[in-house]
Chains A and B, each alone.
Chain A
């Protein structure tokens, strides 16, 4: 099940955060997403790991709350962070992001406020929730 989906800009500022939990733990998820940037930073800044780091890279790591976080780095240093079970998610999520920032009225680096994007993300998340459940 996907708990939370986030897009983080190249200055490590949140562009989009959406949680998909019933419980009211959005703040905790904010913390989790923020902390996972440490891992991303560590990977990006460490030259030893960088040669393995192609344009897109995946991380799998534990977090105390029974969840697994995945990170994904685009070549414009925009990070996607979420909790999921399938990495294919990112490809579709990236496509949605590209469409959202291709909007001529969107200023890159600003928050994503597009409703279409939110809907698409929901759809992707739901489809994964279903497929993993089923």
Chain B
């Protein structure tokens, strides 16, 4: 674009000229330039200089038709030389002073008029006033106007006092005049048939009209192609094309400037369509292509520029005209690409032209003098004739010579690469990857052609990736062909072999496709065909055999595989070389016992066209001990000796030959003595003395398709004979642990009891293995699972969160703690323990004891696992584990119950008891200041006999006087009570509550007990007694208003009368009305009142006196006494036991001693 003259590239600018009053020139021209749009000013120092605008005389008399279409300097002339308006400035002094000055002015005006008329330029007369009181008389102004032959508005007064206003006025008048001029001029030019072209409207900033003018000119030019006979054919076409090019450029610029992208594209399409076929003479074809390429390049650059302004091209509606536009056509990339393409065409036709012109040397001297002539697109020879130069027209032949000589100076390749690069980048930015890769391919090919392999290689590789991905074999083949050649020329053996192998393994094949591969210009690898693949494969085989280098290569010394220069290829899971060699490995069993052998199938597949002979295969595992080598029996046996010294297993196979698309299946034994994962990592194939391919092993179950072959319609067979194995086979297997030969015993006996330290003996007995670095892990787990040791369900009484706790692990008997090494581990947590086991020889045993305490009754699972290694040297690698578990029931050993009894034959009226519905939750009530009896019983709920050591009531409250018989406790200690399962032990306490508090704490019962084990002495361990406690529930204490006590002798004798007293005690301050009755009893004769209502005075006692005579012997019911309190409307009766008496038939004879003491003694009941 830069080669165009400036006036073509930029919008035109109006030009005016000013003369006279030179001191004002600078401000005026500055002001005009800053106008929008700007006006350029040509300032003339004095009136003598105006002759520069006069038209040259020579043109006028010759009416002969012009010899060209468009003069080269036409547009620039109007921009820089010929103004549209001439402004003549006259000062006040020139006009109003002496007649001589006026005459001078008149002569200036005449002179100006004479110059301007032939060019039809406009005139503006400006009268400059330097002072406000200056004035020019009306007569003078009129005379001036007449002299200048001007309309009154074109005589302007420029008052220097109103400077800025005057400037503006001047500016607007000038712009108006300029418009007038260009319109007239445009009209005038339009009349000329051939030169109907250029664009005064454009000077007038009327772009729409300008466009129309250009369009019209363009079409007239188009018609001229066939008609004009003025120049020799080739040059005529060149001229027309160049003019058309400029017109096209103008039109495109204007359209794009106006933002009409769609129209510009359509226009360009028309332009392209009109001229594309105007190829011209065969020897000048390259000129056509060059021209066409330039059209595209320029349009691309224009688009590029304008698309920076118009961001959103895609939103434009591109559907105009009869054919829909695609979005590609609004992208510069498209045009750059085509420019490059046409430049390639140009280059090839130029080469033909160059070869045709045999006299290439001769033209040089004659071409030197050829220069562009005055008309656009014409060339002429400049001849020196004395002092002057004469333009002489050229013949076509001369012109071609000139053009060829010019063309030789250009390096088309670099130009093409630059164009393609622009297109490539542009397409890449648009994420149009296939077009981009086509550009990249052409670019790389150019680089390749000029020998820039380093630039070409990355481009080719990027493109090859795309083709690989989408499976375009033919295209890939071509790209790889270039890459292969690059590698060959670089001497990169590895690259060369890789590309060659990939090409040889491509599915470029036989069949229907072959006929289409008659490429005119296929790459260095030739057409993609089976035969060509075989050629490449053979070439690789020769190279790999190491016998000779590649003879066909110039610097063959580089391309050789020798002992100093071995070659090792890696094929991973994503490598394109997978189709060269694919290794699938399947274990026949997923789980293997250590040291027992299983089968492994190794399958190899190649898509190379010829059969491949493998000398040696090495199979590698993650356990390097398992690696083995398969030798080809047919190849020389020398290799086996080399490898033997490394101690690897060597197998021999009768044949290791890979033929196209057929699996080579090999099955071998495999054995591992190491537990864990055994995985086949890779298979290394050795072909020839110095060439190896390392192929990553793949599981048949999860094997991907071959990258490009998956699109081929080929016979697919499974890698293993067994189809099930082909579906499920894995390249890895699990090797189990060796069986443990150590016994682990948990010797627990019976259930555990809450509170005791339960001992679980653990014994480790080695039965076959020595135990090295043994570790015993202990775990306590809730049988029901979850939430066992969390305190969630427990009440607040439990301080520790664990209901079952591992207290400790004690070593075997007599073991000194210091003997344990410092590195011995012993870790104990509440539910987890870890202890190390010392070294045990075969047959030895070791034991320890676990001490577990239950805080709550709960079944618990005890897991004990022993990990050890049977060999001292590999203590970390090989661990054998033994697991044992035991469920232990945790139970409560003793159950408590208690009972509160009131004193015998003494019944207080407790108001809380007389409620109609007794509340079970209500705590028991005790009468105040009465002597109550508390009986606490302990029941053995365990399954083993227990021995009770002591029992006591611990009172933690001051308000109660527990008169416990403390003196009896040591008695129990001395002779511990044996409780068989289910047996109860009772102890009686006396409680007298004296505090007046409603609530009373009875205290905590503490029972100390131990297991009554027969063999406790021989087991050696002292069984520690266990203290079990239980807090008794609270009781209410209340003051009974009435207390009824029955007073009668302990026994009666038949027929012997005795006194029966009923005492009603009023403990209140109130008078109590009491109704009582005494029922008759069969066994007694009774004297006294049966029923009555009496008043008991406050704080006093009322005594009812009866005399009874027993009539029957044995246990007899006394007459039932019933009392009803009027005040509390409550009646009560002494209990049946209280009103029972034993009647002896005659007076008994027994010694009565210490009766009082015995009654208080704790007894063992039942």
Q: Which residues of A contact B511 (CB under 8 A)?
A: 113
Q: Are A38 and B435 in contact (CB under 8 A)?
A: yes
**What is the CA–CA distance of A12 and B326 in the complex, to the nearest angstrom?**
21
Q: Are A38 and B434 in contact (CB under 8 A)?
A: yes
Q: Are B519 and A24 in contact (CB under 8 A)?
A: yes
Contact of A35 with B435 at beta-carbon distance under 8 Å, contacts A111-B713, A113-B511 already known: yes
B residues 463-502 touching A (CB-CB < 8 Å): 467, 470-475, 478
Q: Which residues of A contact B435 (CB under 8 A)?
A: 35, 38
Asked if B324 is at the interface (CB within 8 A of a chain A CB), the reply is yes
- Among A13, A106, A118, the residue within 8 A (CB) of B470 is A13
A residues 20-48 touching B (CB-CB < 8 Å): 23-27, 30-31, 34-35, 37-39, 42
- Among A24, A35, A109, the residue within 8 A (CB) of B518 is A24
Asked if B438 is at the interface (CB within 8 A of a chain A CB), the reply is yes
Asked if B792 is at the interface (CB within 8 A of a chain A CB), the reply is no
Contact of A111 with B522 at beta-carbon distance under 8 Å, contacts A38-B434, A42-B327, A64-B338 already known: no
Contact of A38 with B433 at beta-carbon distance under 8 Å, contacts A9-B711, A13-B472, A113-B511 already known: yes
Q: Which residues of B contact A75 (CB under 8 A)?
A: none
Asked if B1079 is at the interface (CB within 8 A of a chain A CB), the reply is no
Encode B431-450 as 1/0 by CB contact (under 8 A) with A. Answer: 01111001001000000000
Encode A37-78 as 1/0 by CB contact (under 8 A) with B. Answer: 111001000000000000000011110100000000000000
- Among B432, B467, B517, B710, the residue within 8 A (CB) of A26 is B517
**What is the CA–CA distance of A107 and B322 in the complex, to the nearest angstrom?**
43
- Among B434, B474, B520, the residue within 8 A (CB) of A37 is B434
Closest CB of chain B to A19's CB: distance in Å?
Answer: 5
Q: Which residues of A contact B478 (CB under 8 A)?
A: 27
Q: Are A12 and B470 in contact (CB under 8 A)?
A: yes
**What is the CA–CA distance of A62 and B339 in the complex, to the nearest angstrom?**
15
Asked if B601 is at the interface (CB within 8 A of a chain A CB), the reply is no
Q: Are B323 and A60 in contact (CB under 8 A)?
A: yes
Asked if A2 is at the interface (CB within 8 A of a chain B CB), the reply is no
Asked if B699 is at the interface (CB within 8 A of a chain A CB), the reply is no
Closest CB of chain B to A4's CB: distance in Å?
Answer: 9
Q: Are A111 and B712 in contact (CB under 8 A)?
A: yes
Asked if A85 is at the interface (CB within 8 A of a chain B CB), the reply is no
Q: Are B519 and A27 in contact (CB under 8 A)?
A: yes
Asked if A91 is at the interface (CB within 8 A of a chain B CB), the reply is no
- Among A14, A24, A38, the residue within 8 A (CB) of B472 is A14
Q: Are B470 and A60 in contact (CB under 8 A)?
A: no
Closest CB of chain B to A99's CB: distance in Å?
Answer: 16
Q: Are A62 and B326 in contact (CB under 8 A)?
A: yes
Q: Which residues of A contact B713 (CB under 8 A)?
A: 106-107, 110-113
Q: Are B472 and A64 in contact (CB under 8 A)?
A: no
Which residue of the partner chain B has the closest CB to A15? Answer: B711
Q: Are A11 and B516 in contact (CB under 8 A)?
A: no
**What is the CA–CA distance of A2 and B1083 in the complex, to the nearest angstrom?**
139
Q: Are A30 and B323 in contact (CB under 8 A)?
A: no
Q: Are B474 and A30 in contact (CB under 8 A)?
A: yes
Asked if B817 is at the interface (CB within 8 A of a chain A CB), the reply is no
Closest CB of chain B to A16's CB: distance in Å?
Answer: 9
Contact of A60 with B522 at beta-carbon distance under 8 Å, contacts A14-B471, A18-B516, A37-B434 already known: no
Encode B504-523 as 1/0 by CB contact (under 8 A) with A. Answer: 00000001110011111110
Q: Which residues of A contact B434 (CB under 8 A)?
A: 34-35, 37-38
- Among A18, A26, A35, A112, the residue within 8 A (CB) of B438 is A35
**What is the CA–CA distance of A88 and B516 in the complex, to the nearest angstrom?**
25
Which residue of the partner chain A has the closest CB to B523? Answer: A27
Contact of A30 with B711 at beta-carbon distance under 8 Å, contacts A42-B327, A64-B338 already known: no
Contact of A60 with B474 at beta-carbon distance under 8 Å, contacts A18-B516, A38-B434, A113-B512 already known: no
Asked if B329 is at the interface (CB within 8 A of a chain A CB), the reply is yes
Q: Which residues of B contact A26 (CB under 8 A)?
A: 474, 516-519
Q: Which residues of A contact B522 (CB under 8 A)?
A: 27
B residues 324-345 touching A (CB-CB < 8 Å): 324, 326-329, 337-338, 341
Q: Which residues of A contact B329 (CB under 8 A)?
A: 62
Q: Which residues of A contact B433 (CB under 8 A)?
A: 38
Asked if A83 is at the interface (CB within 8 A of a chain B CB), the reply is no
Q: Are B516 and A31 in contact (CB under 8 A)?
A: no
Encode B699-715 as 1/0 by CB contact (under 8 A) with A. Answer: 00000000000111100
Encode B707-750 as 1/0 by CB contact (under 8 A) with A. Answer: 00011110000000000000000000000000000000000000
Q: Are A25 and B520 in contact (CB under 8 A)?
A: yes
Q: Are B711 and A34 in contact (CB under 8 A)?
A: no
Which one of B323, B513, B520, B713 has the greatest number of beta carbons of chain A within 10 Å? Answer: B713
Contact of A11 with B470 at beta-carbon distance under 8 Å, contacts A25-B520, A26-B516, A34-B438 already known: yes
13 A–B contacts, CB within 8 A, in A order? A12-B470, A13-B470, A13-B472, A13-B711, A14-B711, A19-B516, A25-B519, A25-B520, A26-B474, A34-B470, A38-B432, A62-B329, A111-B713
7 extra interface residue pairs, beta carbon distance < 8 Å, beyond A14-B473, A64-B337:
A12-B470, A13-B711, A34-B438, A34-B467, A61-B328, A110-B712, A112-B713
Among all A-B residue pairs, the 9 with the closest Cβ atoms: A13-B471, A24-B520, A110-B713, A61-B326, A12-B470, A24-B518, A26-B516, A38-B434, A38-B432
Interface residues of A (CB under 8 A from B): 9, 11-15, 17-19, 23-27, 30-31, 34-35, 37-39, 42, 59-62, 64, 106-107, 109-113, 115, 118
